[in-house]
Amino acid sequence: MSSKIRVTQIKSRIGSSKRQCANLDALGLHKLNDSRDHEVKPEITGMINKVAHLVKVEEI
């Protein structure tokens, strides 16, 4: 069983680059306080690292 994480957007995407906005979209985050559960994979971890200043990550 692989571990899962919950990603929550805590800061606005206004002023972020197009690439960062695309990462938020790919993670399924569209509004403030929006949360999605993901399995821990290198692809997901890389996207989270690029927008780490906009999101909060917690293990579930």
The domains of the chain are located at 4-59
C-alpha distances in angstroms, 22 versus 1, 33, 50? 29, 17, 11
Angle, CA 42 vertex, CA 36 and CA 47 arms, to 5°: 55
Token output for 22: 């695309």
Q: What are the backbone dihedrals phi and psi of residue 36, each rounded to the nearest 5 degrees, phi first?
A: -140, 145
Q: What are the backbone dihedrals phi and psi of residue 37, each rounded to the nearest 5 degrees, phi first?
A: -100, 135
The residue with tokens 């899962």 is: 4
Predicted local distance difference test score (pLDDT) of residue 1: 54
Predicted local distance difference test score (pLDDT) of residue 9: 97
Answer whether CATH 2.30.110.10 is correct for domain 4-59: no
Q: Digits of tens for pLDDT over the chain (60 positions)?
A: 579 999 999 999 999 999 999 999 999 999 999 999 999 999 999 999 999 999 999 999
